[in-house]
Chain A
Amino acid sequence: MAYQPDRSQYPQPGADGKLDIDLTSGKYLKLWQGPQHPGITGNMAVELTVCGDEVVEGKVHVGYLHRGFEKLMERRTFIQCFPIVCRICVPEPDFNEYCYAAAVEELAGIEIPEQARWIRALILEMGRINSFLMYCGGQAGSYGMGVISQWTTYVRDLMLDRFEELTGARIYHMFILPGGVRDTLPEGFAQRMEETLREIEITMKDVYETMYCNAVFKKRTVGLGVIDPELLDSYGVTGPNARAAGVAKDVRKDQPYLIYPELDFEPILGQDSDIYTRADLRRQDILQSVDLVRQILAKMPKEGPVMSKLPNVLHWKIPRGETYIRGECSRGEYGYYLVTDGSGFPRRVNVRGPSYTHAMSLLERMIVNINIADVAGLMVSLHTYPPEIER
């Protein structure tokens, strides 16, 4: 016979539909998870109201790393915005560079060379791999498996080496600028990349054995943190969070950009929409991206320009207009809404990070009635990057 908890001690909704929580009753406790939390890249706090060890209400608090990029860009010229956009999302900066550059190019009517389109896609896939690797470590860490993050950090570091030799920097690459990319692939890059990819595959096999085939991990994640597929659209859920619920939301397929139509892949889908499904889906996404990097390196043109002619960037003005550019980052739909007004500065830049919807309204809804110990796991399973929430 299944265990039936006694829920009589838990708060009941009042007439207005809100929970009747009397903090003076002694039955409830306020707990803060965060703003520093090892499972989250950046700072974000969840204010939990617990009854026993069950969460009855959760409120997400952001504001710990608001840097005001959208506002800062309003007083920078179009080229001057390029170095700062990558800083909006620390663990996966390249989508900022791509979306910003593509938005500027569209409004200014600039087409980029073919090779640059391939190199952009290469960088974006490399970035996705890195971001997923970081997630794997965090997800494992939230269930006490610290060693996994050491392994993924190692292979991520190898990928950072590839970034370094390609772009000249490890974290903030500042490589995709309006007009194309800075440079072509260095000599011997494909071969070194292949070595790195193999190392990633070996490590992911070990991660699979120790994390995904781990009784404790399965016990704690299967069936927990389910996102009802009905909620996907109303909460703006995209990316792996949506695909784990069986909905093939993938910008690379829905609105193919760059050279994705020329690559052979199918969005990976899950069924159960729980923490385990999402974790496993991201593991498979790493392997898929590894494959995509291989495809790109094999198919891309090896010569030709990588940069289009730009107007003099020091007094570059773009006519009035607005556009929205999106890409499929590791967490879902990453987008830039750019408005220009004919001057040399953007009128408005709005960054749509997927965590904005995932970590705010969706998390607050999902967190109710789960165990305190599972909060971290759930939070990480939505793959939240707080810097993109508040920019």
Chain B
Amino acid sequence: MSALSIEGRHIGLPLRETKWMREFYTKLAKQFPLGELTEQRDNLAFISIEQPQLRPLLMHLRDKEGFSHLVLLTAVDWIEEGHFQLTYLLSNRTNGTDIGLRLMISRDDALMESIHDIWPTAATYQRELREMFGIDFPDSPGVYEDFILEGWNNIPPYRRDFDTLEFSTENFAQRPGRETKDPAQHMKQQLYPDGA
């Protein structure tokens, strides 16, 4: 894979296509309604799915396809589009491939079924997601306990509408004596103050 370039300078991405991923996707799509497939590299693909498919698909991938390792479970806030993306990244060690399941849920009523019974370790991820993104996973063990934050009463901090700069400006004092000048503006003041 090499990038498109002019005079050795990078200008874009080539198209990727991997055979086994397509075949696997086609096979899987016969059993489950699947959304868009993104072939990221020859051993990593992302597949969009809908909520009803999550549990059967995870079970199928874990038990039948060898994707037995839950690498991570995390969320992405697409605030402009009004939803959270949940990413369940699964790994198959025997053939060294990964599949990421993308699942969009509404930002307004962020709720998802827990998968701690499939992978016990998911409970930690779900606890963190509830705390940091405000995504609820009812029945997940300890999901309502504080994980990293203690006594947090602001909006969940990993949501995009939580402004870290504003938070720090409100809560912390700035060291006095800092000032800076923009080179162009400073030169204007010094060299042609009337703008002429």
Contacts and interface: CB of A to CB of B under 8 A. Distances in A.
Contact between chain A and chain B defined by CB under 8 Å: yes
Contacts of A337: 72, 74, 87, 89
26 contacts: A66-B148, A71-B158, A75-B164, A109-B1, A109-B4, A109-B14, A110-B10, A238-B69, A308-B10, A309-B9, A322-B38, A322-B76, A324-B40, A326-B71, A335-B72, A337-B72, A337-B74, A339-B76, A350-B72, A350-B74, A356-B124, A357-B121, A360-B124, A361-B121, A361-B123, A362-B121
A311 interface: yes
Given A235-B120, A322-B46, A352-B71, 20 more contacts: A63-B146, A63-B147, A66-B148, A68-B157, A75-B164, A106-B41, A109-B3, A109-B14, A234-B119, A235-B119, A310-B10, A311-B10, A322-B38, A324-B44, A324-B89, A333-B71, A339-B85, A347-B76, A357-B124, A360-B121
Contacts of B147: 62-63
B164 A108 contact: no
B89 A106 contact: no
Contacts of B85: 339
Interface in B113-128: 119-121, 123-124
A233 B96 CA distance: 15
B98 A236 contact: no
B13 A109 contact: yes
Interface string B1-42: 111100011101110000000000000000000000010110
A214 interface: no
Interface string B131-153: 00000000000000011111000
- Please name the 10 residue pairs, one residue from A and one from B, whose CB atoms are nearest each other, closest first: A109-B13, A109-B3, A350-B74, A233-B68, A63-B148, A348-B76, A360-B124, A236-B121, A255-B96, A352-B72
Contacts of B38: 321-322
Interface in A306-331: 308-311, 319, 321-324, 326
Given A109-B10, A323-B44, A324-B98, A236 B69 contact: yes
A111 interface: yes
Contacts of A352: 71-72
Interface string A37-73: 0000000000000000000000000110010101110
A257 to B, nearest CB: 11
Q: Is the interface of A mostly helix, strand, loop or mixed?
A: mixed
A300 to B, nearest CB: 22
A249 to B, nearest CB: 6
B11 to A, nearest CB: 8
A171 B195 CA distance: 50
Contacts, number: 114
B196 interface: no
Given A234-B120, A236-B119, A337-B89, A324 B71 contact: yes
Q: Is the interface of B mostly helix, strand, loop or mixed?
A: mixed
B93 A235 contact: no
A348 B87 CA distance: 12
B158 A70 contact: yes
Given A109-B3, A323-B44, A361-B124, A254 B93 contact: yes
Given A63-B149, A324-B100, A236 B70 contact: yes
Residue of A75, A235, A319, A322 ringed by the most chain B CB atoms within 10 A: A322
Contacts of B69: 233, 236, 238
Nearest to B4: A109
A106 B40 contact: yes
A390 interface: yes
Contacts of B77: 348
Contacts of B164: 68, 71-72, 75
A361 B157 CA distance: 23
Contact of A236 (B8, B71, B96, B157): B71
Contacts of B87: 322, 337
A308 B10 CA distance: 9
B165 interface: yes
B148 A234 contact: no
B15 to A, nearest CB: 11
Contacts of A68: 157, 164
A337 B101 CA distance: 13
Nearest to A237: B121
B106 interface: no
A346 to B, nearest CB: 10
A71 B157 contact: yes
Contacts of A347: 76
B1 A323 contact: no
Contacts of A348: 74-77
A249 B93 contact: yes
Nearest to B141: A361
Contacts of B43: 255
Contacts of B157: 68, 71
A324 B120 CA distance: 22
A76 B147 CA distance: 26
Interface in A327-368: 333, 335, 337, 339, 347-348, 350, 352, 356-357, 360-362, 365
